[in-house]
Amino acid sequence: MIHNSNPSSMNERADMYPSRSNLKAQFIKRKEPIVYSAPSVKPPLDQSLIDQYANDGFMVVEDVFTPEEVAMFRRELNRLRVDPAIEASGETITEYDSDEVRSVFRIHQVSEVFKRLAGDPRLAGIARYLLDDDVYIHQSRLNYKPGFHGKEFYWHSDFETWHVEDGMPAMRALSISVTLTENHTNNGPLMLIPGSHKEFVVCEGHTPAEHFRSSLKKQDYGVPNDGSLCELAAQGGIFTATGKPGSIIVFDCNTMHGSNSNISPFPRSNAFIVYNAMSNRVGAPYCDRSVRPEYICSRDSISPIATGADYD
């Protein structure tokens, strides 16, 4: 595996993290901090969790939301899945081999419940601290993984896609997944490779036109090759994020992650919110393709997210 520490020469746009474009698989050393706030700034969580995030690229925090709050989120989860207006919007993604709902996007704009969740200080406060900036929602969605039929999400770094297809310039974004159902080892929970956030994996291939139409169902481009994954897993292992409803998984935008299919009888669903630093707003894609739709990548009418009020 080639390790490239001077990638700017590979692209005439001085792209710090070139990928696809018929490049060979290789690693590029991360150029940005992981925790942006200074050590003197008091964190919103125990320092041991912040240290884990810095070292591993993720952290799991239990019991962030109460059972009553989780019950409210789940009612809204189920309502949005069958809402005719949501289905007609074209912002609902189904599984690639069935009509079962895989994801509902833009939940912070179509649902008052999830709008308040996105602005909740228990989430947005963590994002502000780790990114040391005002933040906005780059993307939000509900991920449904029903029992028996929920399909896998293959290994990928979110930043690779957001950089190449959305024009996100730097690694100053993170995701927070709020678990809305029990995450067992056998119902397709999130898996992450510790330490993988410290290097960018160049993916081979190219970016097809309107790639989002297929990639949101089954991603074939913007995924690392087997050799890259073997090397990352040999160095860091694989962590399976199990936990109770109401927990959160916070992970850096460049952390390699994925999940298996759910062939168990038990559904696995979560709310997924991406916080990006205001100083890291997206520009033109780093590929010769049109911008992705607004419901996948926020680029219009961006403003710092306000912290929400308590739930009624």
| DSSP line for 26-60 | EEEE--S-SS-S-TTSPPSS-HHHHHHHHHHSEEE
Question: Does the pLDDT at position 133 exceed 50?
Answer: yes
What percent of the chain lies above the pLDDT cut of 70? 88
Structure token pair of residue 306 = 């306000």
Mean pLDDT of 109-120: 96
Choose the weakest-confidence range: 21-35, 43-57, 162-176, 282-296: 282-296
CA–CA distance, 207 with 163 (Å, rounded to integer)? 12
| pLDDT the model gives residue 11 | 39
Superfamily of the domain at 56-206+214-280? q2cbj1_9rhob like domain (2.60.120.620)
d(CA 165, CA 287): 6
* Long-range pairs for 86-89: beta carbons < 8 A, 24 or more residues apart: 86/110, 89/295
CB 168 within 8 A of CB 159: yes
Round to whole Å and give the CA distance between 143 and 181. 11
User: Residue 219: what pLDDT?
Assistant: 56
Provide mean pLDDT across the span 262-272: 91
What integer best gives the mean pLDDT of the chain? 88
Choose the most confident range, by mean pLDDT, from 38-52, 75-89, 99-113, 211-225.
38-52
HSE, CB side, 13 Å, CA atoms: give it for residue 38.
Answer: 2
For residue 251, the 8-state DSSP code is: E
Nearest to 160 by CA among 273, 16, 35, 1: 16
Provide DSSP, 295-309. TTS--SS--PPPPPP
Which pTM value belongs to this model?
Answer: 0.90
Separation CA 46–CA 310 (nearest Å): 23
Assign 95 a pLDDT band (cuts: 50, 70, 90). Answer: low
The alpha-carbon radius of gyration of the chain (Å, integer) is 18
Residue 309 pLDDT exceeds 50: no
The answer on pLDDT for 50 being more than 80 is yes
Query: DSSP letter at 103?
Result: E
Q: Is 98 exposed, middle or buried (0-12, 13-18, 19+ CB in 10 A)?
A: exposed
Q: Is residue 242 over pLDDT 80?
A: yes
Q: Are 79 and 274 in contact (CB under 8 A)?
A: no
Domain ranges of the chain: 56-206+214-280
The residue with greater pLDDT, 94 or 141, is 141
Cα separation of 162 and 173, whole Å?
Answer: 10
Per-residue DSSP letters for 56-90?
A: HSEEEE---S-HHHHHHHHHHHHHHHH-HHHHHTT
Cα–Cα dist 251/195, whole Å: 11
Q: What is the pLDDT of residue 127?
A: 98
Using 50, 70 and 90 to split pLDDT, how confident is the model at 97? low
Query: Edge-to-edge strands of the sheet including 58-61?
Result: 58-61, 248-252, 173-179, 268-277, 135-145, 101-105, 92-94
